[in-house]
Every structure is written in structure tokens, then in C-alpha cells.
């Protein structure tokens, strides 16, 4: 048991008990939970336009320019692929399947606007004050806030939760200002057309994948070193192979050195010169090389809050900064996963811990270990054309932690039943489990397949409870499904046997 983490006084005399700075997934989660638990809460949210002028409503990155529009466009691309292959299953078409970008963009944006409105209604109904203003600290308990017309005010609170997330960066090369980012892509009025994607993380490959499969134009990805760094390499290889087979051009080992705007009549194009001396002309240049925490204007240095100066992120322990009444959650926290569900859970748990001071007798209560955010064994999915699902350690991480001689890797290269009629590359999917040799405990599970996200979620619950390889082997699979691969793996890497599966 751990004691409370600050000296909160319910009779503080400030405007609010808690001000949450940032109205994204984490900020909304923390604010609503705190209000339910008896705090007076305000949410401060103001979207600064991207360098290209894009802006959006309440809800943060995930809802407006991240997970939601990305997944919808990924699904649109999958529908196109399904339509293309439907003839193999007896469907007749004239082969002229055409996608309309404007229709998709409008429908996605209409859905997002509905979510924006819904969040405002939720805050109102739950008694959270929504303040559409940009804030900065002018004292330990005071914020100066300014609205879109430049009018200023000062508000105060006993505690603050910083949940401002991050924003994408532009290319660091001449002409970098001509690029767009994921802050702009989902609102483009016209199809991106022939596109150069700079970067090799999950945002870059997800966007490259759906632009390719929506048939909007040829897509070239500039990869500085390796695609999807930090993910299991066997799994990544399958993802990349699929993208290449579908027409995405990945150039490994290059970066842009110059982006030149070329105007032909009423059409702007961009000549991108690569570090290997080659170049090409594109309709759109999309930069997805990373994000920087949106902390520059908060004036945190005036309070002495410890920061990582390289990425602008806040250094925190159990979401608490070195200034005890100021907390941080989500992507703005250094060395934590940049995932929406992580921010939501961290915000909810933090609010519960902070409420431990709200007892009537003002007696310090205790907080149990399960009230803290556990950043280990968190599942995630990359929504590339062939989806990647992962939880736990990669093979590379397991070797570093336990030693290669102390782990066993089970794997299978397989073909989902749905793919067997499509004349695709054989065994284009992969399932992989990593265990410790001493006790057969599962320390990593990975899969590249259709619906990988839906598959890996359930296994993450099992892993958090302590999953053993024997548990999987003693589980009867559902046939014929992709997920049964993970309960039927018997071939190990160390055996040298062929892991390519044949038969059903």
C-alpha cells in the first residue's frame, strides 16, 4: 500500500479542484472520472491550426486526425481489395471499381463532427466545465487563458493534469513547409494522388497502405533505416512484403534533402530529392517521421517541471511530475506508449487515486498497487493492409532481457482460409509466440493477419493474468479461424524445421 501523493486541501479556495489541460482521450477520461468522484473540474482545450491550416473540434488526436479516420480509411481500402477479389468467390463485376475520395472524406468528417458534439454533451451532462481556450501557467496554481479572439482571463486550481498530447513534425530539409502531416491528410478536399510518404513508423505505413489500396495514386515511402522499428522483425517482414506486393514502393536508407514546389497551371506538384541523389515528382508529400509533445507554450519551465528537452515530453513517476500538484497523462509523458487506450486508462486511474483525499474526516487513506497504471503487457495493432497485432516482448527484446539460450520461439507461416482462393503469395501471414524455457511462460505474442487487432486483444488479457504455453496447447481452437494458429503452434525456430504450414 502506498500513501497519497500530494497534500491536497479540499478547502483550497481556487476556482477548481482540478483543471485538465487538453481535451483528448486522456484528458476527457480523467476529467469525467474526477467529476464523478466529487471534484470540481474544468477541461481546457484549444486546437492550434496545423502549419497547413487544418483544425478540428473537441476530442484530441485519436478522434479527429488519428485512430478514427485512419481506421475508417483503412477499412475503405480493405473493402476495395475485397471487391477486387470478389470474382474469385463467384461475384460478377465489369472490373471498373472506382473510389471517390471526396465521398469518403465527407462521410468520415461528418462522423467525427458527431463525436465532437457528443463529447461536449457528455461534459455538460456530467458537470465538467469545458473551456475552449489556450492556457499557460503564470503561477503554481494559475493559468492565463486566451480565446480565439485574443481575449484573456485567469483561472486557478488546486491540481492540474496536463494531457496535451503531441503534434507531428515537418521534414527538416529545404522546402519542408510544403509537406502535410496526418493533421491534414484526412481533411484533404482532393485525392492525395501520387504521394511521397516520409517515415517508416506505424502512421507512415498505415497511411501509405490505405492510399495505395484506395487507388489514389502511386505511393513511395522513404525509409531512413528500418520499417516499424521496435516491432518484431519477423512480423514486420510479412507486413512489408504485403505492402510491396500491393504496389507500395519502399525505398530503404534514404531521406528527403529538398522539396521543391512546381506549379503547372492551376496544379501544384512537388519535386522531392532523396539523399541518394535520385528524385521524383509527387502530388502530395506526407511527413510521418514522429511527433513532438505540445508543451512549448505551457510555460512549464517557470514552475521547474522536469522535461525531456529532446522531445518536449514531461518526466513523471506514476503520472506525477516533480511539482507534486501537477500531473501528466498520455502521449505527453516521457517513456510511455503513445496509445489512446493507455491515456484513457491512465487518466481514469489517476482520478481515482486523487480522490483518496476526499473523505469527510480528512484522514489520509491508502492506495493499492492496482490503482496505478501498468504500462507493461499492453497490446496494440498496426492497421497496415496486412494488420499487425502484438503484445509483450518482441523476439529481439526477449533475447536482450533473458538471453537467446533462455527463450523459445514458436512460429507458423500460414494462409488464412479466406485467402486460399485469391492467388496471393502462399503463407503470407505469420503467428509467433515467445516463451521462457525455464517455465514455458508466454512473454510475447505476435501475429500478422487479417483482423489482427481483434485477435490480439483477448490474448493480452490472458498474458496479464499469467499465460503459459501449456494453457494455449490445452485450448481447443475454433476452426477454421486465424486465431486458432496461436493455440496450435508447435514448431520452434531452434528446431530448424520448416514453419510453413500446409493443409487446413
Q: Is 63 left (phi over 0), alpha (psi -120 to 50) or beta?
A: alpha
- Is 435 strand, coil or helix? strand
Would you state the pLDDT for residue 264? 84
Q: Is the pTM of this model over 0.85?
A: yes
Residues carrying an active site annotation: 479
The phi and psi torsions of 71 (rounded to 5 degrees) equal: -65, -40
The string over 51-68, giving b where at least 16 C-beta atoms fall within 10 Å of a residue's C-beta and e elsewhere, is bbebebbbbbbbbbbbbb
Report the chain's terminal Cα–Cα distance, integer Å: 51
64 near 152, Cβ under 8 Å? no
Task: Give CA separation, 227 vs 20, 205, 206, 335, in Å.
Answer: 36, 8, 11, 21
Instruction: Point out which residues pair with 411 in neighbouring strands.
Output: 432
Q: What is the C-alpha to C-alpha distance for residues 152 and 154, in angstroms, rounded to an integer?
A: 7
Q: From the CB of residue 495, how many other CB atoms can be counted at a distance below 10 Å?
A: 11
Name the H helices within 4-154: 25-36, 60-65, 67-85, 101-125
Would you state the pLDDT for residue 357? 59
Q: What is the C-alpha to C-alpha distance for residues 367 and 353, in angstroms, rounded to an integer?
A: 7
185 near 199, Cβ under 8 Å? no
The phi and psi torsions of 206 (rounded to 5 degrees) equal: -60, -45
Would you state the pLDDT for residue 391? 98
Would you state the pLDDT for residue 483? 96
Residues 462/459/232/230 CA torsion (nearest 10 deg): -70
pLDDT per position in the chain (504 positions), as tens?
Answer: 444 578 899 999 999 999 999 999 999 999 999 999 999 999 999 999 999 999 999 999 999 999 999 999 999 999 999 999 999 999 998 878 899 999 999 999 999 999 999 999 999 999 999 999 999 999 999 999 999 999 999 999 999 999 999 999 999 999 999 999 999 999 999 999 999 999 999 999 999 999 999 999 999 999 999 999 999 999 999 999 999 999 999 999 999 999 999 998 889 999 999 999 999 999 999 999 999 999 999 999 999 999 999 999 999 999 999 999 999 999 999 999 999 999 999 999 999 999 875 554 444 456 676 789 999 999 999 999 999 999 999 999 999 999 999 999 999 999 999 999 988 888 999 999 999 999 999 999 999 999 999 999 999 999 999 999 999 999 999 999 999 999 999 999 999 999 999 877
Q: Which of 204, 202, 193, 252 is nearest to 382 (CA)?
A: 202
**Cell numbers found for residue 155:** 483561472
**Cell numbers found for residue 246:** 500491393
Q: What is the C-alpha to C-alpha distance for residues 249 and 222, in angstroms, rounded to an integer?
A: 9
Q: What is the C-alpha to C-alpha distance for residues 276 and 173, in angstroms, rounded to an integer?
A: 14
Would you state the pLDDT for residue 363? 46
Amino acid at each position: 500500500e502506498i500513501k497519497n501523493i500530494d497534500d491536497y486541501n479540499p478547502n483550497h479556495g481556487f476556482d477548481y479542484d482540478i483543471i485538465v489541460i487538453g481535451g483528448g482521450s486522456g484528458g476527457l477520461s480523467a476529467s469525467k472520472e474526477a467529476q464523478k468522484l466529487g471534484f470540481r473540474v474544468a477541461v481546457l482545450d484549444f486546437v492550434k491550426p496545423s502549419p497547413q491550416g487544418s483544425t478540428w473540434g473537441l476530442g484530441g488526436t485519436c478522434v479527429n486526425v488519428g485512430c478514427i479516420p485512419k481506421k475508417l480509411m483503412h477499412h475503405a481500402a480493405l473493402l476495395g481489395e475485397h471487391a477486387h477479389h470478389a470474382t474469385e468467390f463467384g461475384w460478377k463485376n465489369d472490373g471498373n471499381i472506382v473510389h471517390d475520395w471526396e465521398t469518403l472524406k465527407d462521410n468520415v468528417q461528418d462522423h467525427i463532427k458527431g463525436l465532437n458534439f457528443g463529447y461536449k454533451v457528455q461534459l455538460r451532462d456530467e458537470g465538467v466545465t469545458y473551456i475552449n481556450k489556450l492556457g499557460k501557467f503564470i503561477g503554481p496554481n494559475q493559468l492565463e487563458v486566451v480565446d480565439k479572439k485574443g481575449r484573456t482571463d485567469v483561472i486557478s486550481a488546486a491540481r492540474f493534469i496536463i494531457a496535451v498530447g503531441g503534434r507531428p513534425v515537418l521534414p527538416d530539409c529545404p522546402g519542408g513547409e510544403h509537406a502535410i502531416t496526418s493533421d491534414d491528410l484526412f481533411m484533404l478536399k482532393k485525392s492525395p494522388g501520387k504521394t511521397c510518404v516520409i517515415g517508416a513508423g506505424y502512421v507512415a505505413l498505415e497511411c501509405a497502405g490505405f492510399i495505395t489500396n484506395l487507388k489514389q495514386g502511386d505511393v513511395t515511402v522513404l525509409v531512413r533505416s528500418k520499417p516499424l522499428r521496435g516491432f518484431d522483425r519477423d512480423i514486420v517482414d510479412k507486413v512489408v512484403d504485403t505492402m510491396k506486393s500491393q504496389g507500395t514502393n519502399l525505398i530503404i536508407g534514404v531521406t528527403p534533402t529538398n522539396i521543391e514546389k512546381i506549379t503547372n497551371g492551376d496544379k501544384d506538384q512537388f519535386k522531392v530529392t532523396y539523399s541518394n541523389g535520385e528524385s521524383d515528382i509527387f502530388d502530395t508529400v506526407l511527413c510521418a517521421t514522429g511527433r513532438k509533445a505540445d508543451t512549448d507554450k505551457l510555460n512549464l519551465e517557470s514552475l521547474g517541471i522536469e522535461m525531456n528537452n529532446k522531445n518536449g515530453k514531461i518526466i513523471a513517476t506514476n503520472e506525477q511530475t516533480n511539482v507534486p500538484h501537477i500531473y501528466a497523462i498520455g502521449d505527453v509523458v516521457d517513456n510511455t506508449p503513445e496509445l489512446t487506450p493507455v491515456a484513457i486508462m491512465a487518466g481514469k486511474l489517476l482520478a481515482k487515486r486523487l480522490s483518496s483525499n476526499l473523505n469527510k474526516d480528512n484522514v489520509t487513506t491508502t492506495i493499492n498497487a492496482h490503482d496505478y497504471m501498468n504500462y507493461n503487457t499492453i497490446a496494440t495493432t498496426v492497421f497496415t493492409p496486412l494488420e499487425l497485432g502484438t503484445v509483450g516482448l518482441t523476439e529481439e527484446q526477449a533475447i536482450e532481457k533473458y538471453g537467446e539460450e533462455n527463450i523459445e520461439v514458436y512460429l507458423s507461416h500460414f494462409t488464412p482460409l479466406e485467402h486460399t482462393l485469391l492467388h496471393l503469395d502462399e503463407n503470407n501471414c505469420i503467428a509467433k509466440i515467445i516463451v521462457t524455457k525455464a517455465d514455458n511462460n508466454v512473454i510475447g505474442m505476435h501475429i500478422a493477419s487479417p483482423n489482427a487487432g481483434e485477435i490480439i486483444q483477448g490474448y493480452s488479457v490472458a498474458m496479464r493474468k499469467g499465460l503459459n504455453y501449456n494453457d494455449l496447447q490445452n485450448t481447443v481452437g475454433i476452426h477454421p479461424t486465424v486465431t486458432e494458429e496461436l493455440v496450435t503452434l508447435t514448431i520452434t525456430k531452434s528446431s530448424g524445421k520448416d514453419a510453413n504450414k500446409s493443409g487446413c
